[in-house]
Amino acid sequence: MLKRLAPYILLIGGIVLIGAGLVYRHFSTQAADPGAAPLPVELVGLPQLRQAVGPSAVAEISQMHGQGFPLITGGVAAYGQGGAAATIWASGTPFSLSAARMVAQMESAIRGGSSPFTPVTVRQIDGRDVYELTGLGQRHFYFRSATLVIWLAADEPIAETALAETLEFYP
């Protein structure tokens, strides 16, 4: 029986290997030249002061958080008038599982005390975990939206509104 099935097992195994190779090639090509992650044009009525997308955004994000996850899209935008009142960092991964692992790694590193942020709480908003922190003179939030990991830093007076708008932009 096994002798009769061996050619089919080898054929299926070969197809799986070829498929895995194509998927790997696709995502490694995207990681080598990341695209632009979507960013709101304005936040809490404040215009963008600065925007970086694609490779420059991924480089900025990787510099802050280190390597370890293949980022295929990136975007950073600062919002305000005169000075930045809020900033969004958006990192895109190939799969939602990768984004979930990235959020878990961030949470673990922050709880480990090796960051300038103090955890405040984890909120459940529309069925997803939103991590809230304080540090560097602002309130910070991060969460996963499908294959994206979003980090929002906002001045205290606009933090809750900025969070609501960011959650709406990244459902």
Percent share of the chain, pLDDT over 70:
80
Per-residue pLDDT of 99-135, as tens digits, reads 999 999 999 989 988 789 999 999 999 999 999 999 9
| pLDDT attached to residue 6 | 62
Say if CB 57 and CB 87 are below 8 A apart.
no
Supply the DSSP string of 84-123, one letter for each residue. Answer: EEEEEEEEE-SSHHHHHHHHHHHHHHHHTT-SS-EEEEEE
pLDDT band at 60 (very low <50, low <70, confident <90, very high): very high
- Residue 31, pLDDT above cutoff 50: no
Give the range among 10-14, 17-21, 53-57, 155-159 with minimum mean pLDDT.
17-21
- Residue 141, pLDDT above cutoff 90: yes
Say if CB 103 and CB 92 are below 8 A apart.
no
> d(Cα 26, Cα 8) in Å, to the nearest integer?
27
More confidently predicted of 66 and 60:
60
Domain ranges of the chain: 1-32, 34-169
For the domain made up of 34-169, give the CATH fold. Answer: Protein Transport Mog1p; Chain A (3.40.1000)
